[in-house]
A and B are shown apart, each in its own frame.
Chain A
Amino acid sequence: MNRKTSDGQPVVFVIDDDPSVREALSSLFRSVGLMVELFTSTAEFLGTQRSVASSCLVLDVRLPGVSGLDFQAELAKANIHIPIIFITGHGDIPMTVKAMKAGAVEFLTKPFRDQDMLDAVQLALAKDRARRESDKTTSDLRTSYEALTAREQEIMALVTSGLMNKQIAAEIGVSEITVKFHRGNVMRKMGARSLADLVNMASTLGVRRTKS
């Protein structure tokens, strides 16, 4: 079991109470160069510091204590977005439908074909990576926005709401020159290449003109 995962390396988490299945899966994933972390229960999984790299979860439906499907709901409630691949000894259609509706990547019945499992894992990791990237963009924007002065944030809101420099100057009671200066700072600090770019950023961040 390899718990030392370096950043950037995708990781596959496996939760199954049967050690033979766990070890087999571990071997399979490692044989194609994937990092694997094994857990015997959901509690153990929740209690472990997980890597920030892209990851996915291979989850047995039948677990002692809590069922895999319930755990899926639990994670969603806790706002933990990790793609899940279910494995089960005796899957039935209602169970599959429920899992897929709740956002599972795949539902595999034991014994499964190795290629099906590996494909599902690749798909799950790709999904996770995409989500992480979109999350990262928003978070970078947020950092830049936080770096603006209060005046600059105010002017950004007014600019992106479609006001001209002259109107802004009248609104906040400064000269047009001053507005231009702040506006230039905003564009630079936010890394916006155009006004349209800045408007997009404002909408992503939810920045709006506040009525004074």
Chain B
Amino acid sequence: MFRNLSTSTKLLLLCGLFVLSLAVTAYSLVTAQQIAIQFARKELVGSRYIAALRPVYDVTLAQQGEQGTVALIRTDELIRLLSEQRGSAAGFQTAELEQALAKALRDLPMTTVISADGNDPVQNVLARARSLIVRAADDSNLTLDPDIDTYYLQTIVTTKLPVWLAQLAQMRALFDGSAPSGAFPEGHKVRFQVLDGVLRSTLDDVANQLEAGFRGANGPGVRETTEGAVATAIAASRSYLDALKARMNDGSAADSGSFAHAAVSATAAWTALQRELDQLLQQRIDGLLARLYGGLGLSGALGLLSILVAYLTYRHIVHPLKRFEAVAETVRETKDYRRRIDHQSDDEIGHLAVAFNDMLSELSSAREREKAEQAELARASKLTTMGAMTASIAHEVNQPLAAVVTNGNAALRWLANAEPDLDEARAALKRIVDNGHRASKIVGGIRAMFKKDLAERASVNVNDLAREVLLLANDNLETYGVTLVTELRDEVPEVLADRVQLQQVLFNLIVNGAEAMASVTDRERLLRVSSDFHDTDGVVITVADSGTGIDPKDMNQIFEPFYTTKATGMGMGLAICKSIVESHGGRLSAVPIEPWGTAFQITMTGVKVA
């Protein structure tokens, strides 16, 4: 079934399949990239959500140092901001935690409340905020981040820094809860030791994880933007701890400034990290989008290219093939083997064109050879026609003649016998009569042969006919060293005639003319073959030689049977020619030419002109 499809359909199919496969590839690419992009976008939403929570820390951490600043944060405003950040990102189940945070915020006292039992409202807020951050990180896929740099950054941002800040706050609460001066209770000391160790290990964790993040980062960008801030924050926290330790040991005055510095630099580091995280996420999204558009563009370009190539293939294969087909068809119809395909290229089609043209030349020359052979054959057969015909006539007439002679002899013998047998003699004589009639019939039949059925006649262009015959007679003309002059008038109309018979007449006249000049040595042997048309006479074909001419007294006899001036002639040629022309309703005549030669004229008067 496939083999019967046209080449253009096949090409279309091939191109279509290719474009389809490109489209499928592009679709799967889009899907895969879309998933990654969605993932990163959700992370970004999570990160921004967490960033929106930072004021909670700013405020809660500053509150106890700077009285009344809590009022700066409006719980409703925060919740609105948070839900806005959450936006349309699916899977965020933070509403409950937001409400819990809001409640904790509202519970936050406006003044410093010393509470050593650890049931600190600040801690409560921070704990709520932390769990909200963790939930947001989980729900926004931040915790599942696939890249090394962003993974460590998000770990620091979503888990370490909230813990760090909470521990700083705990530490402050521990010292602010105790007497502003004087010795610490023993319990505080132990708690300080524990908290100090935990906070320091948190700081180490942050430093380590940041270092790991740097290692996984592409280029120094992350380190440049974050390292300074984080180092400052860690240093600030450490000096705060050192200050606390010193205060505990020697009871020196509390340094609220050092806490503020630690808290501010930690939040600053947090902000820097968060910004960097956002930037990295945004970069990832941009990269993914760029790859997506790049892939789509490439697929599209490939698709267009394949369509272009298919079109070019179509032009370079199907077009030439169609031309081949057209030429082959034309050659078949017109038999014009000179036609060639005009196509040049160095591919299979080009080679095919060359082979095709070679084949046509071969065909053409084969056809020429065949034509020449046919012409040769026709020439040979026509040359022998006259001879064969006379031989046949001779044989046909000879049979009854032999019978007549033999019967005559037999009759004589029957009569000459001692007892003449009259019956036998009579029978023999009767056979003589019969054979005489038979011979006469044969002669009549030969005559009838020249009055062939009119049905065999067709329109004949006498000029074409003359050219054909001259081609056939060429050998004879060369043999006699005859110069040929043709004056064939183009406008001669076609005549209704038996082509073969007319050919024989012309052939005979031309060969006769050539032979008539055999003895001419003192002038050119010129044979002029012309055709003409007169309104009165009709079509006239003239064969004129420059021979010795015909003796005027013989002029009347030359068309008689068995009259010949040639040593080897039968004397039948002109007689047969005349009877053929007359059977066509035409006229054959001979006129002497001055100063020498004879012109034979075939005048097709009264011939039905086609």
Contacts and interface: CB of A to CB of B under 8 A. Distances in A.
A129 B300 CA distance: 113
A184 B574 CA distance: 88
B405 A20 contact: no
A89 B413 contact: no
Given A27-B427, A90-B394, A111-B398, A20 B413 contact: no
Majority SS at the chain B contact face: helix
B524 interface: no
Contact of B410 (A18, A27, A87, A90): A27
A139 B438 CA distance: 51
Given A27-B424, A27-B427, A90-B391, A111 B406 contact: yes
Nearest to A117: B406
A28 B410 contact: yes
A117 B405 CA distance: 12
A27 B227 CA distance: 150
B245 interface: no
A63 interface: no
Nearest to B414: A31
Interface residues of A, number: 21
Contacts of B410: 24, 27-28, 30-31, 114
Nearest to A26: B410
B427 A21 contact: no
A21 B431 contact: no
Contact of B409 (A28, A87, A89, A90): A28
Contacts of A30: 410, 424
Contacts of B391: 90
Given A27-B410, A32-B413, A111-B404, A20 B399 contact: yes
Contacts of B435: 20
Contacts of B167: none
B394 A111 contact: no
A24 B407 contact: yes
Contact of B406 (A21, A32, A62, A90): A21
A28 B400 contact: no
Interface residues on B, range: 20 to 34
Contacts of A111: 398, 401-402, 404-406
Interface string A10-45: 000000001011011101101110000000000000
A110 interface: yes
A90 B427 CA distance: 27
B295 to A, nearest CB: 91
A27 B428 contact: yes
Nearest to B434: A20
B536 interface: no
Interface string A77-101: 0000000000101100000000000
Contact of A89 (B402, B406, B407, B424): B402
Interface in B405-439: 405-407, 409-411, 413-414, 417, 421, 424, 427-428, 431, 434-435, 438
A28 B406 contact: yes
A18 B399 contact: yes
Given A18-B403, A24-B406, A89-B402, 4 more contacts: A24-B403, A90-B391, A113-B409, A114-B405
Interface of A: 18, 20-21, 23-25, 27-28, 30-32, 62, 87, 89-90, 110-114, 117
